[in-house]
Amino acid sequence: MSAQEPGDEVLVIGGGFTGLAAAHELALAGVACRVLESEPYVGGLAGSFEVEGTRLERFYHHWFSSDLEVRRLCAELGCSHLLQEHRTQTGVYYANSVYRLSSPWDVLRFAPLPLPDRVRLGWSAVRARQVKHWRDLEELTAREWLLALSGPQVYDRVWRPLLEAKFGQYASEVGATWMWTKLHLRGGSRSHSGHEVLYYLHGGSAALLDAWVSRLSELGVRICTNTPVRQVLTDGHGVCGVRSDRAVLPARRVLATTAPGLLAGLLAPAGAGPPPHPDMPAVRRRLSAVPYLANLCLVLENDRPLSDTYWLNVTDPSFPYVGVIEHTNLEASDAYAGRHLVYLSAYLPTSAELYRMDDDAVFHASLPHLSRMFPQFRRDWVRRYHVWRADHAQPVITPHYSDRIPAMETDLPGLYLASMAQVYPQDRGTNYAVRQGRHAGRLIADRMRTARRTAPDPLLPGAGYGTGPQFGPEEGMA
């Protein structure tokens, strides 16, 4: 690693996959880097907990065949041998019954729809994959596009309940590009027979993170857990550091990997200090423009399976969860000493009653719904349960989202943002987190090289803060 000037350290806020990928790229470029993570563990939404001696993600995870970035990372870290292919079953819960939807033949047997609409449902997935570019759909809502694809009956019985369960009050505002991404991605992860094929790392994301943290340490990256950032500091020249619970850390370059709205909050003036940069209010307004939903996951450790379905979409508005994901129908229960693991996933505002309940109340409120969905289910099947919450889990993608997407290089000199709100038109996921983080790390390293050529001392006022091109959605897809 080359010698660093005192002001050359880059501070990365967030130790999820995005932050670690950015730190990795910066370290490979010879840039000193420190990762500040508020939790006691790294990994973000892929952070793990222990089940019978094996670690499992707090929030469900799997990879598609198209997730090439994370597969390259596995190869780079020597973890490819842990990556396993699984053929999975998908279904939908409708009118108190479970229907399998894992293959084209399952779609043709979907009894809640008359035969012509079953054909329309199957054909809509084919037509969705024929759309070659997301810009062709950007002015449409998901409702408008799905009605045109499959007709009103399919929309009312399949698509509308799923959109409302996932997005609640925002359901009518969700853009067609978000839905296209889902149909396009899942359709591209099917075998020749039409069955879905997914990938999971034996040992979970924790196995990958262990290898990654070790590699980052070898490269000189400092990872500080239990270090929440309370404020990003600015002065007349741009970013000048961050304030954590422990100290004020000076830096002229800060990368935030949080939701944009969280970064806006970190830019709020607080107490004495240098006057904020004049562009800060405008930057805060732009960062606050993307709404997010929270996620709540109730994870059950059962002594027997609920079903043979991995992913069950729920179209019943009285059921509090949008999905029932039986993880051990992906990774066998033998890996968890025979425990059968089920995620119940809900997307909702942080003000929702379910989200604000304590863990015991969440569990007991969920039992009647589980018993209705699975009549054979009994309370004594559950050996343990866990409740995990993420305040900012799902950005709400609306029509013309490319006009609102935050730039990776903000108008505040030295401040960068890499978040799930910027992987558009793709949706959130560890694969795109890795891609986004690598892109951010390369961008910052390039800006630093340019700054050294134009102003060798990075601590000189205003040195190295040329505006440069902004990175919007097209560049973010690279």
**Beta partners for residue 331, in sequence order:** none
pLDDT, tens only, 194-235: 567 899 999 999 999 999 999 999 999 999 999 999 999 998
Residues 230 and 267 in one domain: yes
- Does the residue 269 lie in any domain? yes
Q: How confident is residue 104, by pLDDT bands cut at 50, 70 and 90?
A: confident
Looking at residue 270, what is its pLDDT? 57
Whether 461 has a pLDDT exceeding 60, the answer reads no
Looking at residue 471, what is its pLDDT? 30
**What count of Cα atoms within 13 Å lies in the side-chain half-sphere of residue 150?**
26
Among 87, 301, 40, 37, which residue's Cα sits nearest to residue 194?
A: 87
Residues 296 and 386 in one domain: yes
pLDDT, tens only, 14-73: 999 999 999 999 999 999 999 999 999 999 999 999 999 999 999 999 999 889 999 999
Region 355-360 average pLDDT = 98
Q: How confident is residue 246, by pLDDT bands cut at 50, 70 and 90?
A: confident
Residues 282 and 420 in one domain: yes
* 267 φ/ψ angles, rounded to the nearest 5 degrees: -85, 0
Residues 285 and 255 in one domain: yes
- Does the residue 213 lie in any domain? no
**Beta partners for residue 326, in sequence order:** 342
Looking at residue 192, what is its pLDDT? 54
Residues 284 and 413 in one domain: yes
Computed over every residue of the chain, the mean pLDDT equals 89
Q: How far is CA 423 from the centre of its chain?
A: 10
Looking at residue 189, what is its pLDDT? 53
Residues 281 and 299 in one domain: no
- CATH number, residue 236: 3.50.50.60
Percentage of the chain beyond pLDDT 90 is 77
- Does the residue 452 lie in any domain? yes
Amino acid residing at 408: M
**What count of Cα atoms within 13 Å lies in the side-chain half-sphere of residue 51?**
29
pLDDT, tens only, 138-158: 999 999 999 999 999 999 999
Asked which of 90-94, 271-275, 320-324, 363-367 is least confident by mean pLDDT, the reply is 271-275
**What count of Cα atoms within 13 Å lies in the side-chain half-sphere of residue 229?**
29
pLDDT, tens only, 163-175: 999 999 999 999 9
Q: How confident is residue 472, by pLDDT bands cut at 50, 70 and 90?
A: very low
Percentage of the chain beyond pLDDT 70 is 90
Q: Bigger pLDDT: 467 or 416?
A: 416
Residues 362 and 243 in one domain: no
Residue 65: its H or E element: none
Q: How confident is residue 126, by pLDDT bands cut at 50, 70 and 90?
A: confident
Asked which of 174-188, 270-284, 351-365, 442-456 is least confident by mean pLDDT, the reply is 270-284
- Does the residue 101 lie in any domain? no
Residues 284 and 299 in one domain: no
Domain count, the chain: 3
Looking at residue 325, what is its pLDDT? 98
Looking at residue 194, what is its pLDDT? 57
Structure tokens at 213: 């943290």
User: How many Å apart are CA 345 and CA 317, to the nearest integer?
Assistant: 14
pLDDT, tens only, 365-385: 999 999 999 999 999 999 999
Looking at residue 272, what is its pLDDT? 56
User: How many Å apart are CA 425 and CA 180, to the nearest integer?
Assistant: 9
Residues 407 and 268 in one domain: yes
Looking at residue 1, what is its pLDDT? 36
Q: Bigger pLDDT: 410 or 477?
A: 410
pLDDT, tens only, 445-459: 999 999 888 765 444
Residues 123 and 238 in one domain: no
Region 184-188 average pLDDT = 63
Residues 328 and 383 in one domain: yes
Q: CB under 8 Å to 21, separation ≥6 — which residues?
A: 73, 433, 434, 435, 436, 437, 438, 440, 441
Whether 477 has a pLDDT exceeding 50, the answer reads no
Write down the residue that tokens 């420190």 correspond to: 34
What is residue 43's three-state secondary structure? strand
Whether 99 has a pLDDT exceeding 50, the answer reads yes
Looking at residue 365, what is its pLDDT? 98
Residues in the chain: 478
Structure tokens at 190: 């099917």
For 169, the domain range is: 109-187
Q: DSSP string covering 331-386, please?
A: S-GGGGTT-EEEEEEEEE-TTSHHHHS-HHHHHHHHHHHHHHHSTT--GGGEEEEE
Residues 142 and 69 in one domain: no
- Does the residue 220 lie in any domain? no
Q: Bigger pLDDT: 476 or 351?
A: 351
* 224 φ/ψ angles, rounded to the nearest 5 degrees: -110, 105
Among 467, 393, 423, which residue's Cα sits nearest to residue 58?
A: 393
- CATH number, residue 302: 3.90.660.20
Looking at residue 463, what is its pLDDT? 38
What is residue 395's three-state secondary structure? strand
User: How many Å apart are CA 31 and CA 24, to the nearest integer?
Assistant: 10
Q: What is the DSSP letter of 89?
A: -
* Sheet-wide strand order for 253-256: 222-224, 33-36, 10-13, 253-256, 415-417
